[in-house]
Structure 1
Amino acid sequence: MPDTTDTRHTASDPRSEAQQLLALVHALYQELNQHQSPPEPITLHTALDADLGFDSLSRAELLQRTERLFGVTLDDQTLATSETLQDLLTAVHHAQRHAQAEMAGPPSFYTGEETAAINLAHVSDTPTHVTTLQGLLDWHVTQHPDRQHLYVYQNATDIDIISYRTLQTHAQEIARGLIHAGIAPGDTVAIMLPTSNDYFYSFFGILYARAIPVPIYPPARPSQIEDHLMRHAKILQNAGVKLMITLPEGKPLSRLLRLQVDSLHAIVSVEALRHQAAPTSPPPHTHQQADIAGIGTPHADDIAFLQYTSGSTGVPKGVMLTHANLLANIRAMGKAVNASSKDVFVSWLPVYHDMGLIGAWLGSLYHAMPLVIMSPLLFLSKPERWLWAIHHHKGTLSPAPNFAYELCVNKVEESALKGLDLSQWRLSWNGAEPISPRTITAFTERFARFGFRQEAMSPVYGLAESSVGLTFPTTVRTPRIEYVDRQRMMQSGHAIPCASPHHDTDEKQILPLIGLGHPLGGHQIRIVDPFGREMPDRQEGEVEFKGPSATQGYYHEPDKTETLFHDSWLRTGDRGLTMDGELFLTGRTKDIIIKAGRNIYPHELESAVSQLTGIRKGCVAVFASHSPHAGTEQLIVLAESHHSDDDTQQQLKSQIQSLAVNLLSVPTDDVVICPPRTIPKTSSGKIRRSACQDLYQTHSLHAPQRAVWWQTVRLTGVGLWHTTKRGLGGLGDYLFAAYMWLAMITLAVPVWILVALLPSRQACWHVTRAGARALFWLTRTRLTLEGQANLPPKGTPFIVVANHASYLDGLVLAAATGCDHQFVAKAELLRQPIARIFLTKIGSHFVERFNVKQSLSDTEKMAESAMSGAPLTVFPEGTLYRMAGIHDFHLGAFQIATQQQIPIVPITLRGTRSILRDRSLFPRRGAITVSIDSPLPPEGKTWQATVALRDQARARILQRSGEPDLAKDTTR
């Protein structure tokens, strides 16, 4: 709970205020740096970032404490404009004093709750036919031009409302200015603007000119624009940017930047583009793209924009996203969350980042829902503004990274929440960075009394290479947290279930994993081992995906594009596992740090720090350490040095901090100077960042150093042990797969011969069951049977329906149930002599799938056989699928049940898909559960009774399977 103690001072003279501010900053610095003193004495000229290492979150905390200390309300821009403590003290002197810090109440021009809430008419139509973003906006302008689309906070109190007509008119004006400036279709145009009206106009203006937008995050402070532009030169070079739209302060830098970016012709402001626009009359509201200077019609496969995943360090990668990619992702996400024009989206997420740009803005645009958006600075300076915006505008959808929820828990005072109502907030996605179970619990518990429902918190997963979203929960539910054995997970990658922890000791032994949902419609994920083989459930590996949202690769980077793809799958660089087909992340294979929603790549900072005098070259590690208090990852620099005296080490820390600010635009959270040979390396000399992270988090960096020869022997032994274990694990997998195939073939031959020769169906079934049970016994496959008492007595007619997950399903039913099943098989198997003879002898029925008349005839024959006493056994999904999920059920079996008035017995199979998946011939170890549900009698002989029986059976199997409902998703 945040500290609500009123620490306001009573002094009034400037000298006293300066001393108190310095004392406050000194205390905050020590709090953030494990009680270490700052490298240099803090003065009013001390820089917040370069000298103190205060990032945006630390600065926000400083502003809050300053307001409490001096009893003032600081201007919103103070967070952005204050570079030194003198700047902050000047802001205090100019602030209006009042009794307590500002509370984020309704904007001043609102007269009451009724005018704050957004109540627009529902739009029943959806633009399912549009193929481009321009076409999407044109559709809205045609359907409802004056409907309110954007509510843009200009500051804490003023909002501009932008309709679809206004957005299109201003965008086309900018498009004409771009064309006048020489921009042609396919050219790249960078946008470096804060969240503002001009950003939205510029983005669509570039699209209307048929150019490619390249969003770049703006500088935190206008005074930093020169350094900021220089840092982004690599992005501009890679994209071949011809023109940049930015703040007026950036225009004088055009000549300097052109020296680094050959393709760049100009840096312009939005106002300059408006002046360059041809003096023509405003276009009609239904203008097509071709009407703007005759530049042609956009296509679905055109690049809609480039999303850069790097640029501050290393070689930037521009993810190419087409209109088709974006619209596929937006439609799939909307379907997953049941989005509609009745929703109100509230966001403070930056619009230069995929989560804010695609998830918030373009998703709102597609579904005709109003978007209330504010600058990230407004949120960071007072996190309660986000919550109050949801309250006042009756927001229903609002996402954020994990650190934002942590800020609301720890930094929002109780006095700022009086009267808050979050009951309208139906979905709050948590994504874009590692998710903390503690943060989820703390946020839901604190804000439950304000109407926030636990099931509104929805952890999700996505990445730029999949446009933005990839996995979402398929139902509204409380967050799924699975607890697994930490040691087993680290050693073998196998997720062994554990009870939830109750104290600190348990937390060290138990690893919590967050469920991130199932793949969006049309998308697939898989977990693969180092050999590219798909892993079973609960086994860790690298996450790969494919689907219509997937990028075609990186702009002008064919080598990196090639490494992105693994056959038809895309590598995410993340490690994880699945449980019942749901994704759980466990770590990353790529060296990336996610800090407050930003991606940071460590290589360039490591290289720069290595060049400092006093630092051992090649002995620097930059890595992430998750902070349970900040709710985000910390940026840690570990550097070896021969210098052990405190003064020299403090100087080195200051230099490293300055390098971090210059290269990354963010300061480090901690710099550790350690003695030589502290940093673990591989046998080839590469930095082992994960090992550095372990040493840092276990406070083992300064443990007594053993002799070099002993360290070498130990590290070599550990490396060989882990390499041997991995090799043996891979060899063991191959041996098991070979053994299982050998067992299947060895059993299949005599079983088939006996079945072919035996005269009675009952005898054939005795042999078949014995062979199936022998297979599972020989392979040590645990087969658990639940609900055996639910099977009707022998001789009683009934129909078995089961989900279809693997080629093993028939064998499992034969081994587990003890019944002489009458399996229903596809008629194509009649053309395969081996299958035909075996299936015919055990009493199977063959159904024609493509000839309707013959199919009806086959169904009538099965109806007669269903009364024989042996259960008719059907897989109503019709076929099996490699992805987890329950698909549509065909009605044939249920129609027979209603006609003959015999019950349906639903059986749920779990585990078979992990052992032998569709389109895979590589069996895995695993366990199988067979759950037999109670019989479902038909209620009448009508069509409605048939449908009701199907729905009841499917609902029971869906519930027991733990897999997602894919009945409405035929694209998977």
Structure 2
Amino acid sequence: MTLKGKTDASDQAGQLLTILHSFAQESRLPAPPEGITLDTRLETDLGLDSLSRSELIARVEKGLGVALPNEALLAATARELLGLVRDGADTTVETTPRLSGLDVAADAGIPTSARTLLDVLTWHHAQHGERVHIVYYDGEDRAQPITYAGLAEGASRVAARLRRAGLTEGATVAVMLPTGPDYFFSFFGILAAGGIPVPIYPPARPQQIEDHLRRHARILDNAGVTCLITVPEARTVAHILRLQVTSLREILTLENLDGESPATVWAHPEPDDIAFLQYTSGSTGDPKGVVLSHADLLANIRAMGEAIAIGPDDVFVSWLPLYHDMGLIGAWLGSLYFAVPLVSMSPLSFLARPRRWLQAIHDHHGTLSAAPNFAYELCLTRISEAQRDGLDLSGWRCAFNGAEPVSPLTLRRFAEHFAPCGLRPEALAPVYGLAEAAVGLAFPPLNRGSRIDCIDRVRFADSGYALPVPGDDPEALEVVACGSPLPGYRVRIVDGEGRTLPERHEGLLQFQGPSATRGYYRNPEATARLIRDGWHETGDRAYLAGGDIHLTGRVKDLIIRGGRNLYPYEVEQALGELPGIRNGCVVAFAATDPKQGSERLVIVAESKEQDPARRAALMQQARERATDILGLPPDEIVLAPPRSVLKTSSGKLRRGDTRTLYLAGRLVAGPPRPVWQQVARLGGSALRGRLSRLIHRLPQRIYAGYAWAVFYLIAPWFWIGVMLTPRLTWRWGLVRFGIRLLRRLAFVRLRVTGRERLPPAGQPFVLVANHQGYLDALALIEAIERPVSFVAKRELLNNPFVGRFLARMGTLFVERFDLQRSHRESSQLSAALARGASLAFFPEGTFRTQPGLLPFRMGAFVIAAQAGLPVLPVVIKGTRELMPGDSLLPHWGQAEVLIGSPMMATGADWEAAAALRDAARTVIGAQLTP
């Protein structure tokens, strides 16, 4: 149907400005000094965030009688919005046919034996490949079904493209794509190619490109990303990131993916291998990438499925972004595991018309869906009683509310407003989770509905004790119960000294569970703060009552707004540098907005400026700077007199106390740069940074050239000597001499300790060492005075020069290090030990650029246990720094080899070998821990 009541084109500009002016007044938006015009910037001049834009678009559509496209949410100015109004004059609504219902009658089963995400997809592909897994609705409401076979095929094509681009096993790949088929294919394509996905969110508007890339460069650098998959429109700008992120080598887009030949062989990760890295939007200042293994994800998915009794007749409907854990794991990967159809749409589609979310639940008989609190509130404000008519929500059995503070008022209003649609109040389920636990940690019992705890506000503020009071007490503080721990998980509340607190006493919330992360990627300092005494910190304050977790605040001043995590530190520092604002006297905090049902971002900055015009200009400048840094505008900036921002005696900001003053009412720029200019500035900055790094690294590059020259002058002669020398002991001595000569000419020192722990000559042993880099074998050869046979991958034989050399040095080649899977190769190694040879293994199987010890494979320990021979644990230090795994540029420095005491298995069976493996890994890991 076509919307009625359209206005003439000549009147549209005036009526649009009238609507915009009225909306600004009603919302108490900061109008620019020259007033609202067609060139008024909706973000920096008026401070419209995504929720405010959604409300404005709804009013424009109603006032002008047009249906605007989703892109209206991205309009930079009123003039751009006017152009979309005129283009949308003849737009029709809901003319595109939508799919209704899905085949969910048959129980497809679940892959209970799956050990990795790839196992899950492979199992579903084999069992029911032609069954629909995802129904994706694009911006035009066109349905795109994706079957399990289609997902597997798309992933195979992406994997082939990545491998053709040179992706190596264990390398990180960033995914900067909007929700859509390409995202689904890319995530599993990276896994199939042996990589590690790193989801990051794409820029919402061109005006944000410069800041977006600047902030994401920190995440990409921390993750050591080697490849970025993005949309074609961002390719040019994304190439600039290569100047800022030294590890980034490839920018890939997925055009013509259908023409790519699928990869025929997928990677085979282990359960403890990293499945993906989850960075939050607040990770840009101090990047914290939560490490989640395949085992972590499957444990959390299975626990959540058990908690909600998920079944074959369920359907999950989601608009949540896939770069966020609740959308990626909770909605998509959970649906994949349990063979539950997923109905997916983009966040932009939801924000443009919130009814689409509930319409999808109606059309597809959705039973499961999740969203942050603001989304439920947005439905209340944007879906009228007339628009509500015709919706059937009776089948919606779990309406999860999480990812930001849950409002008791929103829960009550949503249940009441949509009760005529058949929504059961028991379906509303406030939940709690965090990326450090994969996603979910606490769910309420099924069909309980929301539970609100009413406590004495004064008593709680004074002592932290949540004293229950009657619900009709006007002074009561309402706290939402977020459920009890998932099966297999534990939580506790502790005080600042780590002592466990009793029920209803507020403190620090900690947890344990099968999906608890091993830490933050390449951030040992943050990891040390996360895990204490076997418990993981959540960063939240809470109390327990009746088995439920009741959240009360954040330990650190994390601000959650619109489902995004924001940290105040960068914006506080940046605003403090503005002329007219006192440096070090700026605080940012969240303040609950009862009307919106979400949190408002407030910034208080001290200023001595008194002149009204200059204060208005300073306010505008501060808003622009804050928007640039945060990626969205603050709700309010307060220019306060000196000494309004409270501090401790040591000078630290007291954000909580300043927020209290604000809530009590006791606290007393030029146009945005064009996109081309932002790109030029970003490119110039990146070039300057690259030039500075080149100058800084010039001595290192000169040294690297010298070291390689020495190597190529020496190596051929020793290669020839090894080929001609008849005895292995002579060849071993010759190579040791060559390594020592090369090391000394390259100014590298090697320290060896523990040679006296080597078993007597003639007694074979099994040596196991950690694997840090390319130089590990050279360090071991020089450290061990008598020959040992290294166990190496058979692929090395493909290089005739390397393969022949290693064979002459006694190397034994195998297909894989997991010798339990290869009886023939296990027998070969056992025979070598019987002949008196000693074997050297790198039981991690590979090395990576980041520090840390990978899981040990069983091969070496099974062989040692069966042969009754000692295992010699050896620790290698420094070789990663001498030649990092992501570079062939050598550095000068020092390496160290520490030979430990021999260890014997207690038996010859698998359990004894596993115990021997764990003991050896513990010994090696203890030496590597700083």
- Aligned-residue Cα RMSD (Å) equals 1.8
Distance, in Å, in 2 between the alignment partners of 1:39 and 1:590 is: 37
1:922 maps to which residue? Answer: none
Shift of 1:363: 0.4
Identity %: 50
Contact kept in structure 1, 2:130 and 2:148, CA below 8 Å: yes
Structure 1 counterpart of 2:494, one-letter code: V
Distance 1:192 1:486, change over 3 A: same
Distance, in Å, in 2 between the alignment partners of 1:587 and 1:61 is: 29
Shift of 1:122: 2.2
1:451-600 pair list within 5 angstroms? 451-501=422-472, 506=474, 509-600=475-566
Q: Does 1:74 align with 2:74?
A: no
Q: Does 1:635 align with 2:601?
A: yes
The alignment partner of 1:51 has SS state of coil
Distance 1:516 1:274, change over 3 A: same
1:58 maps to which residue? Answer: 52
1:254-333 pair list within 5 angstroms? 254-271=238-255, 277=260, 279=261, 282=262, 291-292=265-266, 296-310=267-281, 313-333=284-304
The alignment partner of 2:633 has SS state of coil
Distance, in Å, in 2 between the alignment partners of 1:8 and 1:483 is: 48
Q: Does 1:618 align with 2:611?
A: no
User: Which of 35, 38, 44 lines up with 1:41 in the alignment?
Assistant: 35
1:83 maps to which residue? Answer: 76
User: Which of 190, 195, 200 lines up with 2:179 in the alignment?
Assistant: 195
Distance 1:155 1:500, change over 3 A: same
Distance, in Å, in 2 between the alignment partners of 1:467 and 1:157 is: 31
Distance, in Å, in 1 between the alignment partners of 2:240 and 2:90 is: 44
The alignment partner of 1:671 has SS state of strand
Structure 1 counterpart of 2:155, one-letter code: A
Distance, in Å, in 2 between the alignment partners of 1:238 and 1:525 is: 30
Distance 1:456 1:254, change over 3 A: closer
User: Which of 639, 648, 657 lines up with 1:691 in the alignment?
Assistant: 657
Shift of 1:157: 2.4
Distance 1:522 1:10, change over 3 A: closer
Shift of 1:417: 1.8
Contact kept in structure 1, 2:137 and 2:344, CA below 8 Å: yes
Structure 1 residues 215-224 or 679-688, which shifts more?
A: 215-224
Distance, in Å, in 2 between the alignment partners of 1:68 and 1:255 is: 42
The alignment partner of 1:77 has SS state of helix
**CA deviation vs aligned residue, 1:674-731 (integer Å, no higher than 9, x gap):** 11111111111111111121111111101xxxxxxxxxxxxxxxxxxxxxxxxxxxxx
User: Which of 335, 352, 357 lines up with 2:306 in the alignment?
Assistant: 335
1:331-480 pair list within 5 angstroms? 331-480=302-451
Q: Does 1:19 align with 2:7?
A: no
Distance, in Å, in 2 between the alignment partners of 1:254 and 1:273 is: 20
1:83-162 pair list within 5 angstroms? 83-97=76-90, 108-110=96-98, 116-162=100-146
Contact kept in structure 1, 2:24 and 2:31, CA below 8 Å: yes
Structure 2 counterpart of 1:482, one-letter code: D
Distance, in Å, in 1 between the alignment partners of 2:33 and 2:387 is: 36
**CA deviation vs aligned residue, 1:387-438 (integer Å, no higher than 9, x gap):** 1110011000011100011111112122222211100101100000000000
Distance 1:424 1:189, change over 3 A: same
2:24 maps to which residue? Answer: 29
Structure 2 counterpart of 1:70, one-letter code: L
**TM-score, reference length from structure 1:** 0.67
Shift of 1:583: 0.7
Distance, in Å, in 1 between the alignment partners of 2:258 and 2:622 is: 44
Structure 1 counterpart of 2:202, one-letter code: P
The alignment partner of 1:271 has SS state of coil
Distance, in Å, in 2 between the alignment partners of 1:309 and 1:43 is: 37
Distance, in Å, in 2 between the alignment partners of 1:530 and 1:227 is: 37
Shift of 1:657: 1.4
**CA deviation vs aligned residue, 1:528-555 (integer Å, no higher than 9, x gap):** 0111000000000000001111100000
The alignment partner of 1:168 has SS state of helix
Contact kept in structure 1, 2:282 and 2:566, CA below 8 Å: no
Shift of 1:29: 2.1
Contact kept in structure 2, 1:71 and 1:97, CA below 8 Å: no
The alignment partner of 1:594 has SS state of strand
Contact kept in structure 1, 2:104 and 2:314, CA below 8 Å: no
The alignment partner of 1:270 has SS state of coil
The alignment partner of 2:634 has SS state of coil
Shift of 1:249: 1.5
The alignment partner of 1:142 has SS state of helix
Shift of 1:253: 2.5
Distance 1:199 1:255, change over 3 A: closer
Structure 2 counterpart of 1:687, one-letter code: L
**CA deviation vs aligned residue, 1:270-317 (integer Å, no higher than 9, x gap):** 127776x5x5xx56xxx6xxx24xxx5210001100000245641111
Structure 1 counterpart of 2:456, one-letter code: D
Distance 1:223 1:618, change over 3 A: closer
Distance, in Å, in 1 between the alignment partners of 2:118 and 2:202 is: 25
Structure 1 counterpart of 2:8, one-letter code: S
Contact kept in structure 1, 2:428 and 2:449, CA below 8 Å: yes
Shift of 1:128: 1.1
**TM-score, reference length from structure 2:** 0.70
Shift of 1:222: 4.9
Distance 1:39 1:213, change over 3 A: farther
1:860-871 pair list within 5 angstroms? none
Distance, in Å, in 1 between the alignment partners of 2:6 and 2:165 is: 58
Structure 1 counterpart of 2:79, one-letter code: Q
Structure 2 counterpart of 1:91, one-letter code: L
Structure 2 counterpart of 1:42, one-letter code: I
**CA deviation vs aligned residue, 1:764-800 (integer Å, no higher than 9, x gap):** xxxxxxxxxxxxxxxxxxxxxxxxxxxxxxxxxxxxx
Distance, in Å, in 2 between the alignment partners of 1:254 and 1:516 is: 40
1:803-842 pair list within 5 angstroms? none
Distance, in Å, in 2 between the alignment partners of 1:350 and 1:370 is: 17
Distance, in Å, in 1 between the alignment partners of 2:468 and 2:282 is: 40
Distance 1:217 1:332, change over 3 A: same
Shift of 1:37: 4.2
Shift of 1:95: 1.2
Distance, in Å, in 2 between the alignment partners of 1:171 and 1:515 is: 40
Structure 1 counterpart of 2:454, one-letter code: Y
Distance, in Å, in 2 between the alignment partners of 1:298 and 1:313 is: 29
Contact kept in structure 2, 1:680 and 1:688, CA below 8 Å: yes
Shift of 1:79: 1.4
Distance, in Å, in 2 between the alignment partners of 1:127 and 1:224 is: 42
Distance, in Å, in 2 between the alignment partners of 1:345 and 1:495 is: 36
Structure 2 counterpart of 1:530, one-letter code: G
Structure 2: runs of 5+ lacking an equivalent: 669-930
Distance 1:11 1:339, change over 3 A: closer
The alignment partner of 1:398 has SS state of strand
User: Which of 165, 187, 194 lines up with 1:210 in the alignment?
Assistant: 194
Distance, in Å, in 1 between the alignment partners of 2:234 and 2:361 is: 34
Contact kept in structure 2, 1:483 and 1:511, CA below 8 Å: yes
Contact kept in structure 2, 1:313 and 1:664, CA below 8 Å: no
